[in-house]
Amino acid sequence: MNTSENFVNRLRAWRERKKFTQEEAARILGVGRTYLNQIENGRPPGDNLVARFEAAERESEREVTDECSLQYTAVNSEAGRVQENPVLSEAEMEKARIDQMHLAAKLRAEARELEVTAERCLAMSKRLNLEAEALERNAETKQAE
């Protein structure tokens, strides 16, 4: 898969995860809807769009992390209440245990998603570094001529 296809897949996944229309995503990314549609249909993205998208992706990761933290706090608070109040019914205790298990599973899934995003960012960074080095070599060659 080439870099452009990888970008399109990430863009679409982000848009679907956020439930954005192309128009909404284009507004957030500071581009026109038509341009975004062209990108999703194979036009190579410009560096500015890539940078804006990566910033939006990082913001999405922060939102996920914040939401997970809030849920974690709420579940732990409920678990503490259950432990402090031994007269809670078995059903309430079971519900608190199940909530903790669900949150743990969600946090693991979110952590995996963040790891994948970090790997993608690292790969993009490496690609950009290689492109920058190639541009420097080209500039040096032209300067030598």
Check pLDDT > 60 for residue 1.
Answer: no
Check pLDDT > 80 for residue 36.
Answer: yes
pTM above 0.85, yes or no: no
Q: What is the mean pLDDT of residues 11-15?
A: 88
Bigger pLDDT: 76 vs 139: 139
pLDDT at 114: 73
| Phi, psi (deg, nearest 5) at residue 85 | -120, 90
Structural domain of 47:
3-144
Classified as helix, coil or strand, 91 is helix
Counted domains in the chain: 1
CA–CA dist 143, 139 (Å, integer): 6
pLDDT at 39: 92
